[in-house]
Structure 1
Amino acid sequence: MTVVEPLPVRPPETAVEILARAQALAPVLRERAEEIERARRLPADVVDLLRGTGVFRMGFSRAHGGPELTSIEQTEVIEALAYGDAGAAWCAMIGSDTGLYASFLDHAVAEEMFPSLDMATAGLLFPNGRAEIVPGGYRLTGRWQFGSGVTHADWVVSGAFLYRDGEPVHDSILLMVPKADVEVLDTWHTTGLAGSGSCDYTITDVFVPAEHTLTFAEVRGGTGPLAQPEVHMRNMPGVALGVARAALDHATDAAVSAGREDDYRTQTTIADCEGDFAAAREGVYGALRRQHEVLSAGGSLDDLTPRERAALPLSRRHAFRTARAIVTRLYDLVQTTAIYRPSPLDRWLRDTTTMCQHIVAQDRILQTAGAHLLGGRPAFPLALGITSSRR
């Protein structure tokens, strides 16, 4: 078993430190991947190890005392963790949204809600719940799916439709509640990403103060590149890219160990997959770099050309789809060795298949980007950072 030096007690302060800690943790996550998958959630000590890397704090702005990693740097961190285990990286990606949500809360409220920058958030943003408007806030009830990391989260954010006196208001909102107010249901029996613990959860008649709610249409406590409506989607492809890189390295090492350096099929498959990976990865980081250039210069998402803006969700989708295709081809290349559960290729095949069912990897993204390019109506405008003002 790999011996891991205890992570330094001092919290990391820079992107370089957080990335280095994530890279150091990756071999440990790989070694424990089977255990994580069997548990169908992250063991408590693995959560602590992730917390020690600084991944949960990386989205907090400097105004909150955080390291304020760019979306490019955040994606690199998630990619490094996914090289070890997809489920752990998925939870890290979701949990790191805490600091990003802080920009959509009043600054003082965020300071009170998040006394530690290493607090993790989970939850489903789609409005599956019901929020009854009451004096001072809302009473929230509902059941949500896909609560990735909800078993270890500190806060849970959930989407809900608004009601007043029992009648729908035809609007929705996001509401944050402490994990103690949430009941987790053991529903996460899935093809892949088992370790993410993305269970259903319920909230029943919980009062949520108005100041603990948010909407991506209203930035209340932040400015700059991270205070944007679609910021929580940007680092997602890091999971897919990290898994694809791990699978390529594994297949390459296996081929060399088996003496297949001069086998034509092995050569062409590895080379073709490397080409696909390089193109997909550059697509993601190229789109993020251009976005950061515009936003860090004081511009807005509207200052991107239609192609530049569409490139963001398209590159995310392409990364997920390409990762699945790469793993599938490598699985075929390795042949019967890959079918046994101790093989990481088996787990990566199931993980990439499962993550490709997420909305960011679905055809709805193609329609959204295509509509934007053609001047039509996007089905999922938030993927482009487009919101409508609250009514």
Structure 2
Amino acid sequence: MTSTILDVQTELVEKARSFVPRLRDRAKETEEIRRIPDATINELKESGLFYILRSKQFGGYQTNMRTYTDIVTEISRGCGSTGWIVALCCIRELMISESFSEKTHQEIYGSGGDIVFSGVFEPRKIQVKKVEGGYIIEEGYWPFCSGSLHATWGYFGMPIVDEDGNVVDQGLITLPMSQVEITDDWHVMGLCGTGSNSINMKNVFVPDHRVVSFTDAIAGKFQSDHFRDIPLYNTALFPALAMSIGVPGLGMAKAALELFMEKLPNRRAANLGVEYLGDAVTTHHQAAEASLKIETAAMHFYQVADRLDACAVSGEYMSKFERVKALANIGYAVQSCKEAIDILILATGSAYVGNGNPMQRIGRDFAALYTHRTVSPITSKENFGRELCGLSSNTKNI
């Protein structure tokens, strides 16, 4: 049984790796049309790579966070935007699977068609009313909904209110994307192909069974009683979410190094005392430094993935201290990727500024990822340091 599971996981990673050449061929198109091409979406569905964290009960592969990390890294080597979408759409499968009840799962997966999730937690504007049997979102606005153009179901953050309108908790909701309005406003400099448009809702009813406490979910108090014997669905929610935002950066950094080394043999040097750039001591230092920083990032990412899996298998939910540390590992890995890419951009020279240069696209895609506060190297280190010093993390939702 174990051998069969490993074979399936290895096959999925190999499938992801086989996508790299075609994703690089489509990267320019993906950026220009501001969404993932339909051909790529269809291939990801046909290959099963969208379903790596879906339960076997509902047609998925039910793998683990290490396999997820492998696959997201490979896809991101091919195209940053596509890697971002695979990362977030798949992690939403995990969030939906572990957070919601069997009734909700039967409703979602019994609705027919290819189920793909998009969503975003924090609304910038929202008015909610408690009514019999659920909630009415009178008005809601959520920006940055990655994958919105390809999704059939969504998950969103929402304040849970009582009958008097008082906020009593923070919640997660899920609903068909047919009930929301997508605003075409994703005009950006990086991760252009993710279609991370804004979502608007007006007078949308959400039944009680499709609303769960986010406070409970991040503490491992899940409503998925029917999945309690499946280790994957005991995975700590917030560190897994942070991995989905950070891991694409590892693939981008690897792609940058590969691109630099591929171009290097034919690059002539100027004012370095050698004819070719590959013979320059400066280049040797830059290549080595970038490579080692990428290896450092990988070690931190895989440490988190393996610890998430180990805790899930043990049946004990990851402790608050470990969750805070995991965020610090992820932030440190993201910073290492940034430093590696910065080195490679500098080593690329003035060719980098040319529109259409793949290195420039990688740089812009990573710059967009780096701004996401969930993986902030500064905040995550501060929070871990506070925990080490016997204080509480300043970030409560971990």
Asked if these proteins are the same fold (TM beyond 0.5), I'd say yes
Distance 1:53 1:317 in 2: 31
Distance 1:271 1:286 in 2: 22
Q: The residue matched to 1:184 in structure 2 has which SS? A: strand
Distance 2:113 2:13 in 1: 17
What is the CA RMSD across the aligned residues, in angstroms? 2.1
Matched, 1:220 2:215: no
Select between 112-121 and 314-323 the one with higher mean Cα deviation: 112-121
In the alignment, is the contact (CA less than 8 A) between 1:99 and 1:117 conserved in 2? no
> Deviations for 1:54-99, whole angstroms, at most 9, x for unmatched residues?
2221112345443111111101110010001111111111111342
> Deviations for 1:172-198, whole angstroms, at most 9, x for unmatched residues?
211111111111112211120111111
Name the % identity: 23
Between structures 1 and 2, the one with greater helix share: 2
Name the CA shift for 1:14/1:211 in 2 (closer, same or farther; >3 Å): farther
Match of 1:139 among 136, 141, 146: 136
Distance 2:49 2:166 in 1: 39
1:124 maps to amino acid:
V
* 1:236-275 map, 5 Å: 236-258=245-267, 259-275=276-292
* Map of 1:121 onto structure 2: 117
* Map of 1:8 onto structure 2: none
> Deviations for 1:195-246, whole angstroms, at most 9, x for unmatched residues?
1111111011111111112234131213324333323333433200000000
> Deviations for 1:273-317, whole angstroms, at most 9, x for unmatched residues?
111111111111123223322331233212x8x4x5443111211
In the alignment, is the contact (CA less than 8 A) between 2:65 and 2:308 conserved in 1? no
Q: Which runs of 5+ in 1 are unaligned?
A: 1-12, 384-391
Match of 2:349 among 335, 339, 346: 335
Q: TM-score, normalised by structure 1?
A: 0.88
* 1:272-291 map, 5 Å: 272-291=289-308
* 1:287-326 map, 5 Å: 287-302=304-319, 306=321, 308-326=322-340
Q: Which runs of 5+ in 2 are unaligned?
A: 1-6, 268-275
Distance 1:323 1:112 in 2: 40
Select between 91-100 and 117-126 the one with higher mean Cα deviation: 117-126
* 1:154-173 map, 5 Å: 154-165=152-163, 167-173=165-171
Q: The residue matched to 1:261 in structure 2 has which SS? A: helix
Q: The residue matched to 1:14 in structure 2 has which SS? A: helix
The number of equivalent residue pairs is 368
Name the CA shift for 1:61/1:372 in 2 (closer, same or farther; >3 Å): farther
Q: The residue matched to 2:241 in structure 1 has which SS? A: helix
> Deviations for 1:350-376, whole angstroms, at most 9, x for unmatched residues?
111111111222233233322322232
Select between 201-210 and 234-243 the one with higher mean Cα deviation: 234-243
Select between 180-189 and 106-115 the one with higher mean Cα deviation: 106-115
Match of 1:204 among 199, 202, 216: 202
